[in-house]
Structure 1
Amino acid sequence: MNLNDPQASRLTNTIETRQALPMSKAAIPQSEQEMMNARLEQARRQLLQSEKLAAIGQLAAGVAHEINNPVGYVYSNLQSLESYLTDLFRLTDAVDSADSLDSLKAIKQNIDYEFVRHDLKDLLAESREGIERVKTIISAMKDFSHIEEEEFKPADIQRGIESTLNVVNNELKYKAEVTREFGDLPPVECIISQINQVVMNLLVNAAHAIDDFGEIRIRTREAGDTVIIEIEDTGRGISQDNINRIFEPFFTTKPIGKGTGLGLSLSFNIIEKHNGRIDVESALGKGTCFRIALPAKQPRAPEDS
């Protein structure tokens, strides 16, 4: 072939270009794949964060209702207390200006002193109970969140469950009676705020699965080096067609607008991150049981040990 021939020159350039293309194609997809992976990871984090915010928003309405009740009757009691104090001050002021003991007795009878005396005890006891309830809710919120903690630490799982129950009480009290069957557990090495979030997701789902009024049973036990948490409800149950998909992102059987389909997926990822496992058993019309198994101590990397 004459390389000085223009046609031969074009043919040579085409062959060289075709030989260079595979290298170019191999380089570009790798860069694009890295960008896509980064974008997918960012999107995944944003979705998980939105699920957390949705859960917080749902809880905030319930917590506001829970706090509003005791605050409401404490406020009402303070108004009664103001009225009682006005009457009592009228009696004590009359001690200096009364003409006789009979006039003091008349004022005492007029303000119904015996009723005020006994009702004051009930009023103060009820108000103290209301303030204790608010303190319990606030303490539960602090225990539940532990937002600043992102490292594994030994934690009391059962205290975390109790904190979560206090936080979601408004979601549960109208749907189910909660029974506890707690065993003796060792401290569990975990990120307790994340485990609390898993328990919250399962409790709220259990309440939503109950049509009228049912029961939610929470069991804990130790099995060797593993801690078991079971949350069982007497709700509708899950069909066999759906039970294999419940941990998929965005899969939900709830009506549109009622669920994101990320709660169980997020729970699965959290338990997986803790080197544990989450299983489910369900029967239509009988209920569902979620079983979480967590190692009491996280496995150490070779360099740590």
Structure 2
Amino acid sequence: MPPAPRHASLLPPAAPGLPGPELEGVDESTWLDVIHKMDEVYSQLVADEIALEHKNAELEQSQQFIFSLLTAMSDVLAACNEAGCIEETNAALCELVGRPEQALRGLPLTELVADEGGAARIRHVLATPAPQRSGTVVEVELTDAQGQRVPVDFNCTPRMDASGRRVGMVFVGRPMGEIKRAYHQLREAHEALKRTQQQLLHSEKMASLGRLVAGVAHELNNPISFVLGNVHALQRYTERLRTYLGAVHAGLPEAERAALRVKLRIDHLLADLPSLMDGTLEGAQRTADIVNGLKRFSAMDRGERAPLDLNGVIERAIHWVRKGTAPGFEVVWTPGPPCMVMGSAGQLLQVMMNLIQNAWDAASGRPGVTPRLEISGHGDGRWTRLAFADNGTGIQPEHLTRLFDPFFTTKPVGKGTGLGLSISYGILEQHGGRLWAENRPGGNGAVFLLELPHLQTAAPA
């Protein structure tokens, strides 16, 4: 900034040898005051100019910041006046509708709407005298650059001037096409996950059933062999009866018929028939019971629930595991009073079998120790609780938090799928119960605990 001119340069020069010019009533001090005031005004003008430059720079920065925000917004924006004409927009809306910003300014927002219903909703919001400051949501469809309809949820808020008077509306919306597509993909993934879960559940049930095939075959062999032997005896008895009846119908003398009766042992045959038939029926019924039990266990569970006694479920699970893979398993279980819950018999049977089978796998791994499982239960009127305590090697502390993770297993490769406990956990959770594990005191095995709502407080299926 150039230095302010001094007062000496403003005075008119005096001629050589002549006195300087003088004004009437104005002395030198007055001129000094005038020059001082001029100096102050000039300094103030310079300061104001510097401040104005700062303000212009700040304004430019603010404008650039607002422009960068509008450009970066993924939501479409349209600032309209009271008539609904667009005064300001952003790059997202321009890109969506395929028009430049200059073409959108002054254009009624309703012209971008694809149908008359959406335009009517926009006009209704514009005509509302006192819209909510929190915003009103309006669902419309805009026509994009390809002429297709794009659903947009607009949040409409009033735009005020300095005096608090509404001068227009601001419409901020997000195109819902991508969101709806993402939701559709999420729903498909969820359905696929549910199908996979059902397949895993069924696979685990089939794996459990496969472990029991040997025992089931042995158990079926007894009644089937019994029925088969009785049928052969009935065939022999039938031939003897046919021979005797042929003699009777042929009119043989009484003495010959009596001799034939003794020879064919008809009296013994008739005395043996009732017990033979009863035994055959019993064997057939036993076979039917075994087959029905297998069908209940192996069939795909449809989620049907009914009141059931856990005592019977536990007894059946012990029976199947012993017959299948653990014939020498010592299981201590004394059924108590009826333990009624609301649930699926097939699913809860699978849970009990998984826990008993896991206890056998853990306890049979200790050399010189007889595998043993103690099952105990109690209830408090609201919950039914069961504890499965084995004498195995226990659970490593770092594994306690991962026991119920899918595919996690400590068994050797080929000995376990890692799904049994995970599926059991999910089944109990669906029944309103829970399952957890801990080590027994002294490191002598592990205990799995489960609880289910008592029938009086059980949630409806």
Distance 1:288 1:136, change over 3 A: farther
Alpha-carbon shift at residue 81 of structure 1 (Å): 1.5
1:147 aligns with 2:301: yes
Alpha-carbon shift at residue 33 of structure 1 (Å): 8.1
Alpha-carbon shift at residue 265 of structure 1 (Å): 1.0
- 31-40 vs 265-274, which deviates more? 31-40
Which residue is 1:195 aligned to?
A: 348
Distance 1:240 1:73, change over 3 A: farther
- On the 8 A contact 2:392/2:445 being kept in 1, the answer is yes
Distance 1:117 1:208, change over 3 A: farther
Which residue is 1:174 aligned to?
A: 327
- On the 8 A contact 1:182/1:221 being kept in 2, the answer is no
Alpha-carbon shift at residue 82 of structure 1 (Å): 0.5
- On the 8 A contact 1:140/1:166 being kept in 2, the answer is no
Which residue is 1:183 aligned to?
A: 336
Q: How many residues align?
A: 284
Q: What is the one-letter code of the residue matched to 1:80? A: A
- On the 8 A contact 2:301/2:347 being kept in 1, the answer is no
5+ unaligned residues in a row in structure 1: which ranges?
Answer: 1-11, 301-305
Alpha-carbon shift at residue 287 of structure 1 (Å): 4.3
Q: What is the one-letter code of the residue matched to 1:294? A: L
2:72 aligned to which of 14, 20, 36: 20
1:295 aligns with 2:453: yes
Distance 1:73 1:215, change over 3 A: farther
Alpha-carbon shift at residue 133 of structure 1 (Å): 1.5
Which residue is 1:262 aligned to?
A: 419
Q: Deviations over 1:152-209 (max 9, x none)?
A: 6543333443454566563256242544322324532344443333223223333444
Q: Deviations over 1:252-284 (max 9, x none)?
A: 123333322111112112223333222224469
Distance 1:105 1:179 in 2: 60
Distance 1:173 1:107 in 2: 52
- Tell me which protein shows more helix as a share of its residues: 1
**When the two structures are superposed, what TM-score results if normalisation uses the length of structure 1?**
0.69
Distance 1:94 1:276, change over 3 A: same
1:88 aligns with 2:237: no
Distance 2:426 2:410 in 1: 20
Distance 1:205 1:163 in 2: 16
**When the two structures are superposed, what TM-score results if normalisation uses the length of structure 2?**
0.49
Find the structure with the greater CA-based Rg: 2
1:279 aligns with 2:436: yes
5+ unaligned residues in a row in structure 2: which ranges?
Answer: 1-63, 76-91, 93-173
1:54 aligns with 2:207: no
| Backbone CA RMSD of aligned residues | 4.4
SS in 2 for 1:181: coil
Q: Deviations over 1:33-77 (max 9, x none)?
A: 867865764554344323322234242663862445423431332
Distance 1:187 1:217 in 2: 21
User: Equivalent pairs: percent with the same residue?
Assistant: 28
Structure number with greater CO (CA < 8 Å, separation at least 6) is: 1
